[in-house]
Chains A and B, each alone.
Chain A
Amino acid sequence: MGDTRLNGAEALVEIMIEEGVEYVFGLPGGSAIPIYDALVGRNVKLVLTRHEQGAVHMADGYARATGRVGVALVTSGPGATNTVTGLFTALMDSVPLVVVCGQMPSWTLGLDAFQEADVSGITYPCVKHSYLVKDVEDIPRVMREAFYLARSGRPGPVLIDMPKDISGARLSDMGKVDFHLPGYSVPLEGDSSSIAEAARLIKAARRPVLLVGHGAAIAGASIEVRELVERMRMPAVSTLLGKGLLPESHELSLGMLGMHGTAYANKAMVACDLVMSVGSRWDDRIVGSYSDFCKGAVKIHIDIDPAEIDKVVKVDVGIVGDAKAVLAQLLPLLEPGDTEDWVKQVARWRRDYPLSYRKEGKVRAQHVIEELRALAGGEAVFTTDVGQHQMWAAQFVGSEESRNWISSGGAGTMGFGLPAAIGAQLGRPGARVVAIVGDGGFQMTLSELATMRNLKLPVKIVVINNHYLGMVRQWQSMFYDERYSGVDLEGNPDFARLAEAYGVKGYRITRPADVRRVLKAALEHDGPVLVDAEVEKHDNVFPMIPAGASLKDMLLEPPKRKLEKPTGGT
């Protein structure tokens, strides 16, 4: 009789099943063969991607759309190094992932063997935590810890480097192993005296603003946020990733703030006398100038990560805890203040400074996106890439639910949109999933069209095609005397025909009159679809706050005079 004990790879798959993993995204290689072998016939579906970056973004899109842990499985060396962008993307946006990398046998580590890389060393700054497994008996504990670490507290990617001799070795015991994480604790409720102080400050405020970030969405604090906003008559702005936690159709939602946020959101930030952030990290995209940000306003910060308190913006009250739990503690202490003048003022700004765009001439990106949102409906899940189309989508895709808005925020990863949409569609099979991508970013991961086609996923891809790396062109046009350098995407293929070559139905939009008709047909098609929307090449995104500038220096339209180069980052 053969040895009936599980090997390391089988144990690993066993725990994936225990953890409720539905999909594993990845691409095999020599060092990962034992793990791929262990997946055969098991109740975990393997999604074979065309590139490891795509695999990690798919796991990421799946995680964001469902709230569950996304899983990727790749091989050693280049397979593992190709995951770095995906890990970084997930870390910056606090997305729970477990990424397993096959590794060369442990006795070859450090000897420059074929496809052997110091994966731990390469990925330390891109993960919440990582493991290099050196003993097969550690696999059950490591796997359980990895899933727990990925999803608990401030979520993030956890990497497991699994040498081939370890995944192939026999395991004596699968029994329950206790976690050993003495350095890890998960804050839940906040400090009650700080919460009482916050309640006092909120009551005293006449012009309060609630800043909703991704942390509030991760905590699932939508009911608490809504109650807070309505009871206190406190207008809310959101970060890019906080979109939809308070439905953007809500009368007190001012939409996204920051560099390309709405004018009324930014005006509210400049004029407010109190700002309370729930789960945002005061990113430079929303703050502009750190020294000028909400000058004179009382600042309250709720975050599950203590390191975010006072990291970039000094606050009057910092509360460490889970957003939902802290808001539940805060709500009973709140008594409505007097904010009616403020609410009226904000409503006037909203009326006087609406988002707008020029409609004449060629097809406008904003027109396509606005129409797409109207036709796809409030229940649709939108993913984006990064750049101009992303900011236009943030402006014109009003979101009613945070899990329906999936975008790479902190990392700003081009190529994210398509694979994220594939992951989201697998996680939410009943949902309508739309990927709004740019012609630049799309070409970074378009090989995943094959993955999408093979799975017969009805994802609708809309390429906002301006034949430019448009956001960089915008900067060069505004701040660099129109000295265009490296932004012209001459040689773009015909994306509709390219899609057809992959077996994906292709459409084109070339005239404004096409927009509604083509989008409608594309959305009604029951399979995978790509729409190539040829848009005006020279449109820029407004409003815009130049990087590092104060929110009050917001530009609502193209400036008449030449601007100084921004002092902030990109």
Chain B
Amino acid sequence: MERYVLSALVQNHAGVLSRVSGLFSRRGYNIDSLTVGETQEPGVSRMTIVVRGDESTIEQIQKQLEKLVEVASVRLLDSGKAVYRELALIKVAASHGGRPDIVQIASIFRARIVDVSSDTLTIEVTGDQEKVDGLIELLAPYGIRELARTGIAALERGSSLLSLI
């Protein structure tokens, strides 16, 4: 199943998240991540939803989302024409021996060490999902103790705008 990224502008009402997440569970759609945050417009939030499915399922999801009265607009993003960013915090086991290697890996990924303890390092990384996945994969052998990912935020490249209506 392919992975798709949908960007939706929604009215920032109580319940809108329930309606959207309820739609996904009701219709059996697979959701990878869902990120919600305010926009420059008061009362309007942007949801970035990463879903898996075939082309016809994604088309259905898009149409069903558009049917929700509080969802103003939905766009399926083209990965070549959009910027995706995710932030992850990775707490990795760091014994004395492994520590320099971990720091070096982090620096290759332009990731930052944001916390240090006697036996762990916490790394903050920002990038598209592939980059975050790549760093996690390289750190896995050292032992990942905790992991927090934000899900992605996305915008189309260029001057194209997702309009409210």
Residues of A within 8 A of B (CB): 120-121, 124-125, 128-130, 132, 149, 181-185, 305-307, 309-311, 314
Q: Given A182-B11, A310-B56, do A125 and B22 touch, yes or no (CB 8 Å)?
A: yes
Q: Tell me the complex Cα distance, A132–B14, Å.
A: 9
20 CB-based A-B contacts, threshold 8 Å? A120-B18, A124-B22, A125-B22, A132-B15, A182-B11, A182-B72, A182-B164, A182-B165, A183-B11, A183-B69, A183-B71, A183-B72, A185-B165, A305-B67, A306-B63, A307-B64, A307-B67, A310-B59, A311-B60, A314-B56
Determine which residue in A124, A132, A310 has the highest number of CB atoms from chain B within 10 A of its CB, and name it.
Answer: A124
By the criterion CB–CB under 8 Å, are B73 and A120 in contact?
A: no
Interface status of B147 (Cβ within 8 A of chain A): no
Q: Which residues of B contact A125 (CB under 8 A)?
A: 22, 26
Q: Which residues of A contact B19 (CB under 8 A)?
A: 124
Q: Tell me the complex Cα distance, A129–B13, Å.
A: 13
CB-based closest 3 A-B pairs: A307-B63, A183-B72, A129-B69
Q: Which residues of A contact B11 (CB under 8 A)?
A: 182-183
Q: Which of B68-121 contact A (CB under 8 A)?
A: 68-73
By the criterion CB–CB under 8 Å, are B66 and A306 in contact?
A: yes
Q: Tell me the complex Cα distance, A431–B18, Å.
A: 43
Determine which residue in A124, A125, A149, A182 has the highest number of CB atoms from chain B within 10 A of its CB, and name it.
Answer: A182
Q: Tell me the complex Cα distance, A305–B66, Å.
A: 10
What is the minimal beta-carbon distance from A318 to any residue of chain B, in angstroms? 11
Q: Which residues of A contact B165 (CB under 8 A)?
A: 182, 185
- In the complex, what residue of chain A is closest to B61 when comparing beta carbons? A307
Q: Which residues of A contact B60 (CB under 8 A)?
A: 307, 310-311
Q: Which residues of A contact B64 (CB under 8 A)?
A: 307
Q: Tell me the complex Cα distance, A128–B70, Å.
A: 11
- In the complex, what residue of chain B is closest to A180 when comparing beta carbons? B11
What is the minimal beta-carbon distance from B45 to any residue of chain A, in angstroms? 12
Q: Tell me the complex Cα distance, A57–B104, Å.
A: 68
What is the minimal beta-carbon distance from A396 to any residue of chain B, in angstroms? 37
Q: Which of B1-32 contact A (CB under 8 A)?
A: 10-11, 14-15, 18-19, 22, 26
Q: Which residues of B contact A183 (CB under 8 A)?
A: 10-11, 66, 68-73
Q: Tell me the complex Cα distance, A296–B55, Å.
A: 23
Q: Which residues of A contact B14 (CB under 8 A)?
A: 132
Q: Which residues of A contact B68 (CB under 8 A)?
A: 183
Q: Which residues of A contact B18 (CB under 8 A)?
A: 120-121, 124
Q: Which residues of B contact A307 (CB under 8 A)?
A: 60, 63-64, 66-67
Q: Tell me the complex Cα distance, A125–B14, Å.
A: 16
Determine which residue in A183, A185, A307 has the highest number of CB atoms from chain B within 10 A of its CB, and name it.
Answer: A183
Q: Tell me the complex Cα distance, A130–B16, Å.
A: 11
What is the minimal beta-carbon distance from B102 to any residue of chain A, in angstroms? 44
Q: Which residues of B contact A314 (CB under 8 A)?
A: 56
Q: Tell me the complex Cα distance, A498–B26, Å.
A: 41
Q: Which of B106-157 contact A (CB under 8 A)?
A: none
Q: Tell me the complex Cα distance, A173–B64, Å.
A: 36
- In the complex, what residue of chain B is closest to A149 when comparing beta carbons? B69
Given A306-B66, A306-B67, 8 new contacts (CB under 8 A): A124-B18, A125-B22, A149-B69, A183-B68, A183-B71, A184-B69, A185-B165, A314-B56
- In the complex, what residue of chain A is closest to B69 when comparing beta carbons? A129
Q: Tell me the complex Cα distance, A185–B14, Å.
A: 22
Q: Tell me the complex Cα distance, A128–B72, Å.
A: 15
- Which one of A120, A184, A310, A311 contacts B15 once the chains associate, using CB atoms below 8 Å? A120
- In the complex, what residue of chain B is closest to A154 when comparing beta carbons? B67
What is the minimal beta-carbon distance from A41 to any residue of chain B, in angstroms? 34
Q: Which residues of A contact B63 (CB under 8 A)?
A: 306-307, 309
Q: Tell me the complex Cα distance, A278–B64, Å.
A: 20
Q: Which residues of B contact A132 (CB under 8 A)?
A: 14-15
- In the complex, what residue of chain B is closest to A130 when comparing beta carbons? B15
Q: Tell me the complex Cα distance, A184–B66, Å.
A: 8
- In the complex, what residue of chain A is closest to B66 when comparing beta carbons? A306
Q: Which residues of B contact A182 (CB under 8 A)?
A: 11, 72, 164-165
